Structure 1
Amino acid sequence: MLLIPCPWCGDRDETEFGYGGQAHVPYPEAPETLTDAEWAEYLFVRDNPEGPFTEQWVHTAGCRRWFTLVRDTTCNDILAVHRTGTTNPVHP
């Protein structure tokens, strides 16, 4: 189980959070022009790196705010946490 550092509430158990997937996935500029295959790729295909990965999380059982977390997928170490819309790390 992970101990996740919420930028507002501090360290909390993983069970208090919801996973939001890969961060910084840009919305298509003209979604109405996408084919079904292109739309499916936007919705479902994400990176699956071995190493640092930037994710979105929400503190559902706490402040209910979204934030960005950088996690090493090989060992689950949390490398950085950012408030949404910022690039300055708050933790760890």
Structure 2
Amino acid sequence: MLMIECPWCGPRAESEFSCGGEADIARPLDTDKLTDKEWGDYLFMRKNPRGVHREQWMHTQGCRRWFMATRDTVSYQIQGYDTFKTGHTPADAHEGNKQ
């Protein structure tokens, strides 16, 4: 079983968490102008890397907070954790987004 270290609660079994998928995906700014293909790509197309990958996790059976983990998809070893910064707005996620 994979052990995940919640930044707030400490090490817990993977069964206490829900994976939110790939991290660092910015929502397109003007979704009304996207084609169906572009919208579908945003919703469903994700990287499936072999090696280091950043993921979002929620401690669903604990503190219910979201955080990001950097995990090696080959060895399953988690290399680090990041929390979401207080005071950042959703618009901050779009910085540099050209869509």
Q: TM-score scaled by structure 2?
A: 0.84
Q: Confirm or deny that 1:64 pairs with 2:64.
A: yes
Matches within 5 A, 1:1-92: 1-85=1-85
CA RMSD of aligned residues (A): 1.1
Greater percentage in strand: 1
- For the residue of structure 1 that corresponds to 2:41, the secondary structure is helix
| Distance across 2 between alignment mates of 1:85 and 1:38 | 29
Give the AA of the match of 1:4: I
Give the AA of the match of 2:80: A
| Distance across 2 between alignment mates of 1:29 and 1:66 | 23
Runs of 4+ displaced beyond 2 Å: none
Structure 1: stretches of 5+ with no match in the other structure: 87-92
Alignment length, in residue pairs?
86
| Distance across 2 between alignment mates of 1:6 and 1:12 | 7
Identity of aligned residues (%): 51
Give the AA of the match of 2:8: W
Q: TM-score scaled by structure 1?
A: 0.90
